[in-house]
Structure 1
Amino acid sequence: MRTKLSGFLCVWAFFLTPDCVSGTFPKAQNVTWDSLNFKTLLTWSPKPVNYSYTVEFSKQGQNNERIPSCIRTSETECDLTSGLTDLKGRYTADVVSEPVRGVTSDLTEDPYTTSPFFIPYLDTVIGKPEFSIIVSDDQKKVTLYITDIPTAIFNEKKQRLTIRDIFKDELQYKISYRKAKSTGKKEKLSAGSEIELTDLEKGRSYCFNVQAYILSRSPGKQLGELSNVQCSPEEATSIFEEYSLTVIALAILAIIVIIAVVIAVIVLCWRLWQRAQRKGSDCL
């Protein structure tokens, strides 16, 4: 019965439109949310040949919506940033396989693939933060100034929001730091974007990494991307500040011993050579 009805629809559409196709289209595969700093793309595969895709999305419990640029498209991604207005909403999307523009089909329902659920507030990846390092004049304190990452979200005044604007008190920063040329590291959490560190050795260079930390997220999604490494400058120090007197004395003693051994070897070799020369003369 469904086959007869589909054939009738295609015959009827033939008189209204120049083209009508029968049969089905491949379903979209690998439908995935790809979101960084709230710029959210829906991606899928494969590239369509002689058919197109339309994306329909909705917040849980509401009707489907469409983005004009993602209707009968030959692309395999759709920017849904502007449509996900409730950042704490739970969204899903259908990627529908359809004929290209100007062509109809005899299908009563086009094939589609449904995405996993996506909640922007909980699932978007937070990118690498940028920060600067200031060392106090007395070399006893290092302050990190972190720039809150801008997002793809704008407020009513068309001003771009930062992750601080969105997450508010739930946003913290995790700081990892270590002495330059050392593998051991320490970590610290800070609720603010200005972090003072006072447990550092005076004059030593330290290297820092920073990443966002969102308290309300599941453990696997709490941390953002790790920043690039930045190191504080190292104050020039004398050998007496760098090493203890004991170490310096032992080093001097070791050098004296090495020199004495070298001299003794040279003298011994010289005497052996002279003795060999004398024995050679006696033989003559």
Structure 2
Amino acid sequence: MDYYYGLVLFICCWIPGFGKLPAPINVTMDSFNFKNTLRWTQPADLEGDVIYIVEYKIDIPSNRVAYKRICITHEQQCHSSVITYRSYVRVKARKYSDESDWVTIHFDPYEETIIGAPDVTVSSRSGHLDVSFKGPLVGAELESLKMKYGELIYRVLYWKESDPAHVLNVSTSQSQDTLRDLEAWTVYCVKVRAYVPEYNKSGEFSPAICKETTNNESRKPSAPINVTMESFNFRNTLRWKKPDDLEGDVIYIVEYKMYVTLLFYMEHAPLICMEATNSSIFNIL
């Protein structure tokens, strides 16, 4: 009996892997604008009160670099925005005194993070479109993307709203640009994304913004609409409605002229039409 008890104790304590937990699976790092989250899946045969430990170390050629702990959690994810350089990241499961093997992945936020869309504003001026953009802001401390990568280019795509298949583009390293040589009184749509030349990496496009161009002159105001004359017992009132696109301090000018047509027959005489303004006097030529 003592022999079998000793054998079981030996197996439990000395044979490697006995009682070891299954390791987390599907370990991936999600990263958007340098905000990182390590995610994994709990194995189907791992149940009960399980905690996970997440650590990382920077990927540099040195034996003195040790792993640093990020999370001890019951969840199947760990916010890892503390990682700002290429690193090794690992996770393991623990249940009471039992542990799994580490699962390690390599992660480089500069290459793998998804770059979001910049904030874009578009304004119409003298036949041009002025486009300005900023961001996106990245990381836990909301740094500028240019501070992260150094060189940053904005790629601007624009097209006529009526002809979306014909897309033009310009690139700039500045925070604004002016789209010129546009057709007057035409609606153009604009979208912008950031591009990092060093990593040949493009960000997401901003939503399209559509604006109408003007020209170098002031635009003729829209005419009044629904113009009608109300008349009761020869008391007349002209009424109209203001167009939807007409704003600000607007005045209206009302004029009239009398239009009279006289029809009569004279032997060997033509049909005569005569017009007078603000007068009821007509002369027959």
Q: Normalising to structure 1: TM-score of the pair?
A: 0.64
Structure 2's unaligned 5+ residue stretches are: 1-7, 221-285
SS of 2:110 mapped into structure 1: helix
2:210 matches 1:212:
no
Distance 1:5-1:60 versus aligned 2 partners, 3 A rule? farther
Instruction: Give the 4+ runs in structure 1 shifted more than 3 A.
Output: 3-6, 234-237
Greater RCO (CA < 8 Å, at least 6 residues apart): 1
Alignment partner, residue 25 of structure 1: 21
- Displacement, 1:143? 1.0
Alignment partner, residue 210 of structure 2: 231
Q: Which of 118, 125, 135 pairs up with 2:114?
A: 125
SS of 1:216 mapped into structure 2: helix
> What are the residue-to-residue correspondences of 1:162-181 with 2, within 5 Å?
162-168=144-150, 170-181=151-162
SS of 2:22 mapped into structure 1: coil
Structure 1's unaligned 5+ residue stretches are: 11-21, 155-159, 238-284
Deviations 1:250-274 (A, max 9, x none): xxxxxxxxxxxxxxxxxxxxxxxxx
> What are the residue-to-residue correspondences of 1:188-199 with 2, within 5 Å?
188-199=170-181
- Displacement, 1:79? 0.8
2:38 matches 1:49:
no
- Displacement, 1:127? 0.5
Contact 2:182 2:213 (C-alpha < 8 Å) held by counterparts: no
Contact 2:184 2:213 (C-alpha < 8 Å) held by counterparts: no
Q: Which of 136, 147, 156 pairs up with 1:149?
A: 136
* Matches of 2:177 and 2:47, distance apart in 1: 54
**Greater strand share, 1 or 2?**
2
- Displacement, 1:176? 0.9
* Matches of 2:79 and 2:120, distance apart in 1: 29
* Matches of 2:55 and 2:93, distance apart in 1: 11
Alignment partner, residue 169 of structure 2: 187
* Matches of 1:24 and 1:46, distance apart in 2: 15
* Matches of 1:210 and 1:185, distance apart in 2: 13
* Matches of 1:164 and 1:188, distance apart in 2: 19
* Matches of 1:211 and 1:6, distance apart in 2: 60
Identity level (%): 26
- Displacement, 1:208? 0.8
The number of residue pairs the alignment matches comes to 201
Deviations 1:39-81 (A, max 9, x none): 11111113763222111211124211102xx21x221111111
- Displacement, 1:4? 5.5
* Matches of 2:173 and 2:112, distance apart in 1: 21
Alignment-mate amino acid for residue 224 of structure 1: G
Deviations 1:130-179 (A, max 9, x none): 1111111x21x21101022111243xxxxx411122223x1111111100
SS of 2:189 mapped into structure 1: strand
Deviations 1:198-217 (A, max 9, x none): 13222211101110100111
Deviations 1:82-135 (A, max 9, x none): 2x2xx3x32111111211xxx213x6xx322112x2122222111011111111
> What are the residue-to-residue correspondences of 1:33-182 with 2, within 5 Å?
33-46=29-42, 49-50=47-48, 51-61=50-60, 62-67=65-70, 70-71=71-72, 73-82=73-82, 84=83, 87=84, 89-99=85-95, 103-105=96-98, 110-115=100-105, 117-136=106-125, 138-139=126-127, 141-154=128-141, 160-168=142-150, 170-182=151-163
Q: Normalising to structure 2: TM-score of the pair?
A: 0.64
**Greater helix share, 1 or 2?**
1
